[in-house]
């Protein structure tokens, strides 16, 4: 049986991987502080402003194309993160040229790309587990709701996926280094910011999902799907 060909699936995959790489390597090194009304000063990783977009793409992919096709995209993102982490490690550890400018620049490279192995491992493991939890929850909710209440599926699945992501990342990256209370506090702030993004972006998600379903003539239900994450089959 010939498999379906889609117009926009590859473009959504490319956008997903781009957002994932940029949010992990451009924004992750910067800690930002903003003063919020009624709350006060809140410190967070700048990458949190853009990383949740990858979950929005995950919701869109599962909602339109199904869990199995989103699974391929998650593995593509994981592979891209693994290669980018390896490339950053090689680049940082290559001997720098013997010049004043290069000695200064090497320090900047180490500051941006020289993440400790625990942070890199935490990022990849948390992304992998959180993305699959998000996709699984949305696919199951779609069957339970009969395709109604898209907002419930996108927000509900993100609550699950981001909980897995945030808890795993901070425990792996900073457990035993930070005080347990600090790990919990920062993880909770990140979790609230990420899920808040999903709520704010719900109207945009509706528009994109509606466009893709019409353009692709697809609205997949995962009634017979094998939900193992360890497969690339569609």
Catalogue all structural domains in the chain, each as residue range(s) with its CATH number. 9-216 (1.10.1760)
Question: What pLDDT, on a 0 to 100 scale, did the predictor assign at position 187?
Answer: 86
Question: What pLDDT, on a 0 to 100 scale, did the predictor assign at position 37?
Answer: 85
Question: What pLDDT, on a 0 to 100 scale, did the predictor assign at position 176?
Answer: 85
Question: What pLDDT, on a 0 to 100 scale, did the predictor assign at position 65?
Answer: 97
Question: What pLDDT, on a 0 to 100 scale, did the predictor assign at position 116?
Answer: 64
CA separation (Å) from 139 to 61, 152, 169, 178, 189? 10, 12, 24, 36, 27
Question: What pLDDT, on a 0 to 100 scale, did the predictor assign at position 174?
Answer: 83
Taking CA 185 as the corner, what is the angle to CA 181 and CA 188, rounded to the nearest 5 degrees?
Answer: 140
The answer to whether the beta carbons of residues 82 and 127 sit under 8 Å apart is no
- DSSP character at residue 3: P
**pLDDT averaged per 10 residues in sequence order, the chain, 234 residues:** 83 94 76 80 78 93 97 96 91 91 88 76 93 97 96 96 92 85 85 90 96 97 95 89
User: Tokens standing for 194?
Assistant: 């990420």
Question: What pLDDT, on a 0 to 100 scale, did the predictor assign at position 145?
Answer: 96
Q: How far is 193 from 198, CA to CA, in rounded Å? A: 9
Specify the pTM. Answer: 0.90
Question: What pLDDT, on a 0 to 100 scale, did the predictor assign at position 120?
Answer: 83
């Amino acid at each position: 049986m010939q498999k379906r060909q889609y117009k926009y699936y590859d473009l959504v995959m490319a956008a997903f991987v781009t957002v994932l790489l940029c949010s992990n390597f451009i924004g992750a090194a910067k800690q930002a502080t903003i003063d919020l009304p009624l709350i006060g000063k809140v410190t967070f990783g700048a990458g949190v402003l853009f990383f949740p977009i990858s979950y929005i793409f995950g919701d869109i992919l599962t909602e339109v194309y199904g869990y199995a096709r989103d699974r391929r995209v998650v593995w593509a993102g994981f592979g891209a993160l693994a290669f980018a982490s390896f490339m950053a490690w090689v680049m940082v550890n290559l001997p720098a040229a013997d010049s004043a400018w290069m000695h200064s620049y090497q320090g900047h490279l180490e500051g941006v790309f020289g993440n400790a192995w625990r942070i890199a491992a935490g990022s990849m493991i948390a992304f992998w587990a959180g993305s699959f939890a998000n996709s699984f929850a949305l696919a199951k909710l779609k069957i339970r709701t009969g395709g109604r209440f898209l907002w419930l599926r996108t927000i509900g699945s993100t609550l699950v996926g981001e909980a897995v992501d945030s808890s795993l990342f901070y425990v792996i990256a900073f457990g035993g280094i930070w005080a347990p209370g600090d790990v919990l506090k920062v993880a909770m702030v990140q979790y609230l910011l990420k899920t808040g993004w999903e709520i704010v972006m719900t109207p945009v998600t509706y528009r994109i999902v509606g466009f893709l379903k019409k353009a692709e003539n697809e609205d997949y239900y995962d009634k017979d799907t094998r939900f193992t994450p360890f497969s690339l089959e569609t």
